[in-house]
């Protein structure tokens, strides 16, 4: 009995001693030496995946910046040898450090071939490693420097940003569709680094109803949605490249019924120079779409379907 109690006491003492001894060592382990002078840089990463593996020597800091031994020994007087993230470095030099850990990520497979890497854009052009994080627990690391991804892209892609502000647009600025829903910012072998193998596949990923198959298809739809639509934004309704009927008239100059203005009495102004009371149905309201309302393809029987009428 006494023996056992004594043994328990000894173990308990040993354990608490061990705890007391190890506690400061653990604290030291999580606070890298760099923290003494670079508190902000440490705070911004310490609760993220990047700070997690840090040690007393600032191992994680050095994995992105380079060898800081002399820098620390000289108390910051000597620079970090070849700081990989230094301002004057090329994009490739900066990104190399990141790729030493992230190269295995499936999404980064075509980084080198992508337009960004080839145009001196670096990982840190989009990713804000030391970004100010207000609530590091709720938001451990910001993937991009701002909440709406498109704002980051828009700093460089001003024309695309402008397009997204036109009356008809994908709800990108509204935060419902992201640039990266359609593009892989890390590079892809497709036209314009689109994520899917073709533009149409990209569109079908959300607009599955346009995939068909239709009993009566409309060839340009099957070929390329962008024959009629623009992806980012348009001044014409429904992201159309042009307004109807002009859009249709690019390809349809004549048919069983002419597709262009017939004569003056079927336009807005009659032969007498006065507005006509019954202008052609081919121009008013939804124009061609008044009748050809199944523009992406129709399953209606016989001639109605054939002529893309519901």
Distance CA 248, CA 252 (A): 6
By CB under 6 A, the residues from 186 to 225 that bind ligand HEC are 186, 191-194, 199-200, 202-203, 205-207, 210, 218-221, 225
Residue of 8, 12, 13, 79 interacting with ligand HEC (CB under 6 A): 79
Q: Name the residue nearer to ligand HEC (CB basis): 2 or 169.
A: 169
Binding residue count for ligand HEC, defined by CB under 6 A: 129
> Is 104 a residue that touches ligand HEC (CB under 6 A)?
no
By CB under 6 A, the residues from 13 to 42 that bind ligand HEC are 32-34, 36-38, 41-42
Distance CA 78, CA 83 (A): 11
Looking at the DSSP bridge assignments, the partners of residue 269 are: 275
CA distances from 110 to 92, 103, 117, 152, 239 (A): 14, 10, 10, 21, 30
Q: Name the residue nearer to ligand HEC (CB basis): 211 or 270.
A: 211
Least gap, CB of 160 to ligand HEC (angstroms):
4
Residues 47/137, Cβ–Cβ less than 8 Å: yes
- The CA-based angle 210-211-212, given to 5 degrees, is 95
Q: Name the residue nearer to ligand HEC (CB basis): 68 or 133.
A: 68
> Is 297 a residue that touches ligand HEC (CB under 6 A)?
no
Q: Name the residue nearer to ligand HEC (CB basis): 40 or 272.
A: 40
Residues 62/70, Cβ–Cβ less than 8 Å: no
CA distances from 310 to 85, 149, 166, 305 (A): 60, 40, 30, 6
> Is 83 a residue that touches ligand HEC (CB under 6 A)?
yes
Least gap, CB of 184 to ligand HEC (angstroms):
8
Which window, 5-13, 17-25, 228-236, 266-274, contacts ligand HEC (CB under 6 A)? 228-236
β-pairing, 233-234 vs 168-169, is antiparallel
Tell me which residue of 289, 162, 191 sits closest to 200, measured CA to CA: 191
Least gap, CB of 237 to ligand HEC (angstroms):
6
> Is 146 a residue that touches ligand HEC (CB under 6 A)?
no
């Amino acid at each position: 009995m006494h023996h056992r109690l004594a043994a328990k006491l000894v173990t308990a003492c040993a354990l608490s001693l061990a705890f007391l001894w190890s506690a400061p060592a653990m604290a030291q382990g999580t606070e890298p030496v760099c923290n003494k002078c670079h508190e902000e840089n440490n705070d911004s990463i310490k609760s993220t995946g990047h700070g997690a593996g840090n040690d007393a020597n600032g191992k994680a800091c050095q994995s992105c910046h380079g060898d800081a031994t002399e820098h620390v020994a000289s108390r910051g007087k000597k620079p970090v040898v070849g700081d990989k993230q230094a301002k004057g470095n090329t994009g490739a030099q900066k990104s190399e450090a990141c790729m030493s850990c992230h190269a295995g990520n499936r999404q980064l497979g075509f980084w080198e071939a992508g337009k960004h890497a080839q145009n001196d854009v670096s990982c840190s052009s989009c990713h804000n490693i030391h970004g100010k994080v207000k609530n590091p627990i709720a938001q451990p690391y910001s993937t991009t420097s701002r909440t709406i991804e498109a704002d980051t892209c828009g700093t460089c892609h001003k024309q695309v940003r402008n397009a997204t502000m036109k009356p008809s647009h994908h709800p990108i600025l509204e935060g419902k569709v992201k640039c990266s829903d359609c593009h892989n910012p890390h590079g892809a072998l497709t036209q314009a680094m689109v994520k899917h193998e073709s533009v149409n596949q990209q569109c079908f990923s959300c607009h599955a109803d346009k995939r068909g198959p239709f009993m009566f298809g409309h060839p340009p739809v099957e070929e390329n949605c962008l024959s009629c639509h623009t992806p980012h934004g348009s001044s014409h309704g429904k992201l159309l490249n042009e307004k109807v009927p002009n859009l249709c008239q690019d390809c349809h100059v004549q048919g069983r019924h002419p597709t262009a203005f017939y004569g003056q009495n079927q336009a807005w102004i009659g032969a007498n120079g006065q507005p006509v009371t019954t202008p052609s149905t081919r121009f008013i309201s939804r124009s061609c779409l008044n009748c050809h309302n199944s523009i992406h393809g129709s399953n209606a029987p016989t001639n109605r379907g054939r002529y893309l009428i519901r």
